[in-house]
Amino acid sequence: MKRLSIVICMLLTLGIAGAARAQSVSQCVNDDERYVVILSMDAFRWDLADRCNTPTLDSLRRVGVYAETYPVFPSNTFPNHYSMATGLHPDHHNIVNNGFYDRTLGRDMSVFRLSDTRTPDFWWGDPIWNTLERQGGVAHIYMWPGSDVEIGGRQASIWTLYSSKPSYYERADWVVKSMCGEAEDSRIPNLVMWYFEEPDAILHKYGPDSDEVLPTIEYIDTVLAYFFREIRRSPVFDRINFIVTADHGMAALSPDRYINLKGSIDDSRVVRVVNGRPLGIEVEEEYLDEAVAALNGIDHITAYKRDAMPEEFHYGTNKNRITNLLVLPETGWSIDYSDRERLPSGGAHGFNPFDRDMHMVFFGSGPMFRKGCEQRSFQDLNMYIIMCYLLGIEPSANDCSWDDVKDMFVSDTE
C-alpha cells in the first residue's frame, strides 16, 4: 500500500509539473505568432492513397485543401526538395540534379556526399528556414534535404542529419515535442519541416502499380493518425497550418523499355557522361549539333542542346553544372550510355514533370486553408510562397507564381 501511495504521489507530481510546463509554454506564446508544419513523403504519387485504406489522408482531404501537384525539372528528390525550400528552379538554386559534374571544381559532385554538400557555393538561394529566422522566427528542420549544412552562413535553430534509423513514429514525436516547447530549443517553432524516405524506396523496388507497396502506404497513414492525435496537446494546435505533400511521383520500368546509347554517337568525341535522368552527355562543342541529330533518330528519347531545352522546363542556363547535351527518355523508358547493359525493373522518376506519373499529392489543413477545397494543380516550388504567406514573412527572390496558389486560402471576408 505504501509503495502504491508513493507511485500515485509521483504520478500526481509529474502531472502537476507537466501541467505547469504546459502553462508556462502557453504563457510564452504570442497571439500574433503563426505556425506551419510540413511533411514530405518521398515519391507519394497522386493515386497511391486511392488504392488502399488511408483514413487519415482521406480526412485531411475532406477538411482542408487537396491538390495534385507536379515537380520541377528534373523530377528527382534533391532538386525538388530544395525547390520547395527556396521557391527557385534547379537552374537557379544550383542543385541541378542528385548528381552532376561541376566545371569550376573539375569533378563529379553528389548530394549524398556530405563532403560535397559542405563545399562553399554548393547551394544557392535562400531556404525558407533562413528566410524565417532572419525575420525573427524559429525553425526546426528534421531531415529535410539541404537543411543539414550552412547556407548563406546560417542554419535553422534545430536541424538533424539524415538517418534512416529513426522510425516514423519517433520522427512524429520530434515534431510533437517541438510544437509543445519540449525540444532542446524550448521555444515553440513557427516552422517545422520533416521527411519520410518512403514510399520512394518501396516504389523503386517493386514499381508503383504493385500490391507490395500498399502496406507501406497504409503504415504511413497510421503514423499520421498517431501524429495528428498527439499534436493536439500543443498549446498552439488551433493555430497550426499543416501541409502533407511529396517531391515527385514514380513510373513503372520494364526490361523491354531499355535503350543503351553506347555506339549511337562518336565515342571519341564524348568528353564525359553524367548518369541519371536526364542523361547528361558532354561532347566536343563542334560535334554537338551532329550528336543531337543522331540521338534524335532513336525512338523513345529526345536529345536537347543545353541551350535549347523546352522553356517550360526552366533548365539549361546553369552552364557550370549542366552538360551541353541532355537526353530525356519517354516516361517509363530507361536509357544508358555504358559498355554493359543494366536491364531495369521496379520504378523510377526523373521523367517529364508534366507527365501524370510524376505528379504527387498536396494536403493543406488549418485555420488559413479553405475547407473541402479542390485546388487546381500547381508546381511544387510554390510551396515556398505558400509557407511564406502562412508564416506572414517577406519572401526572398523566387520563381513562384502566387496566382497559382492564392485561391486555397481563407479570404478576409470569410
pLDDT of residue 386: 98
Residue 404: name the closest of 378, 372, 373, 381 by CA.
378
| Structural fold of domain 34-88+125-252+353-408 | Alkaline Phosphatase, subunit A (3.40.720)
Look at the block and give the residue holding cell 485543401.
65
Distance CA 361, CA 35 (A): 21
Facing residues of 305 across strands?
A: 325
Distance CA 35, CA 192 (A): 8
Look at the block and give the residue holding cell 507564381.
401
Q: For residue range 279-300, what is the model confidence (pLDDT) as tens digits?
A: 999 999 999 999 999 999 999 9
Degrees to nearest 5, angle at CA 389 with 387 and 394: 100
Residue 100: name the closest of 82, 117, 85, 120 by CA.
117
φ, ψ of residue 128 in degrees (nearest 5): -55, -35
Q: For residue range 104-143, what is the model confidence (pLDDT) as tens digits?
A: 999 999 999 999 999 999 999 999 999 999 999 999 999 9
Distance CA 133, CA 170 (A): 25
Q: Is the pLDDT of residue 158 over 80?
A: yes
Radius of gyration in angstroms for the set of CA atoms belonging to the chain, rounded to a whole number: 23
Q: For residue range 54-86, what is the model confidence (pLDDT) as tens digits?
A: 999 999 999 999 999 999 999 999 999 999 999
- Give the pLDDT band of residue 414 (cuts 50, 70, 90): low
Q: What is the pTM of this model?
A: 0.92
CA distances from 323 to 90, 214, 262, 306, 320 (A): 14, 38, 17, 7, 8
288: part of which helix (H) or strand (E)? helix 288-295
Cβ partners under 8 Å of residue 37, min gap 6: 175, 179, 191, 192, 193, 194, 231, 240, 241, 242, 243
Mean per-residue pLDDT, 331-357:
94
pLDDT of residue 20: 43
Q: Is the pLDDT of residue 23 over 90?
A: no
φ, ψ of residue 287 in degrees (nearest 5): -100, -5
Going by their DSSP bridges, the two strands 251-252 and 158-160 should be labelled as unpaired
Residue 118: name the closest of 88, 161, 86, 79 by CA.
161
pLDDT of residue 341: 83
